[in-house]
Amino acid sequence: MKKQMLIITVLIAALLAISACGGAPAAQPTQPPAQPTQPPAQADGKLAQIRAAGKLIVGTSADYPPYESIDENGNFVGFDMDLIRAIGEKLGVEVEIRDMPFDSLIASLQEGKIDAVIAAMQATAEREEKVDFTIPYRMTKDAFIAAGNTTITMTKPEDAAGLTIGAQTGTVQESWIQKNLVATGLTTADKVFSYERADQAALDLASGRVQLVLMDAEPALELAQKNRLKVLLITETTAEGGKSVAIPEGAADLKAELDRIIQGLIDDGTVKALEEKHGLP
């Protein structure tokens, strides 16, 4: 009996020794969870291309003071022009500005002729089907203006019903007229006039060819002063949103960087200082 117990004890000891040598591996020290990292920069993204070229090519329609115009020396001046140069400085690139009709800006961006658009442009749903937009850098108000000797009075935008009215081609204001006056039957299509340049609309207004022009409030105030016109109504009802920089569709890297820069320029007071410089309310 003792001999059997001795054999069993020896067998158990042997099995334990085998288990210790060839069993489960020893526990490894616990590693801390991996920390999230920023996605790598897109070497072939739009932002990388602009930085590699050392230049941001920007389209505008320089007929819209105090946002954008050309002075007597041929220089681009205005709120938008100063802002895009400040953005370019933050990007670390030169800014090249190209003047073109407002209604060709989106197409030029789609065709790759320019890298961005700054032209007091609002990010509408229709435009966002073709290009992308940054966060707004300024909110929008519109104005109805008339000849200086007009007897027309307005308390709401719909008071424009039935009158001859003009707006710049491709603008939100032109779209509002078509949707809210023409499509509703309040104004016939033959009473609506479209202009390539805002100053052309102001001249027709002064000469009596049209009774009203609808446009951004700030350029309206300046054109009214220069051409002896009358501001009848300032409203937010006809506006769709704030003014933003347009960029190529899908340029996520460029949008992220421009959004960051624009928010920074708002936060540090640069945008407000430029508004005061150019007399924007």
What is the Cα–Cα distance from 113 to 8, expressed in whole angstroms?
A: 90
**Predicted local distance difference test score (pLDDT) of residue 280:** 86
What are residue 57's phi and psi, to 5 degrees?
Answer: -95, 120
Q: Which residue has the tokens 């039957």?
A: 185
**Are the beta carbons of 81 and 123 closer than 8 angstroms?**
no
| pLDDT tens for the chain, residues 1 to 281 | 444 444 444 444 544 444 444 444 444 444 444 444 434 445 679 999 999 999 999 999 999 999 999 999 999 999 999 999 999 999 999 999 999 999 999 999 999 999 999 999 999 989 999 999 999 999 889 999 999 999 999 999 999 999 999 999 999 999 999 999 999 999 999 999 999 988 899 999 999 999 999 999 989 998 999 899 999 999 988 987 799 999 999 999 999 999 999 999 999 999 999 999 999 87
Kindly report, residue by residue over 83-94, the tens digit of the pLDDT: 999 999 999 999
**Residue 10 pLDDT:** 46
| 29-54 pLDDT tens trace | 444 444 444 344 456 799 999 999 99
Q: What is the pLDDT of residue 180?
A: 97
Quick one: pLDDT at residue 42?
54
> In the prediction, which pLDDT does 114 show?
98
Half-sphere exposure for 106 (CA within 13 Å, toward CB): 18
Tell me what pLDDT residue 220 has: 93
First to last CA, the chain: 108
pLDDT recorded at residue 198:
87
What DSSP assignment string belongs to 98-113? EE--GGGHHHHHHTTS
Task: Supply the pLDDT for residue 55.
Answer: 98
Read off the pTM: 0.73
- Report the pLDDT value the prediction gives residue 43, as an integer from 0 to 100: 60
Distance of CA 178 to the CA centre of its chain: 23
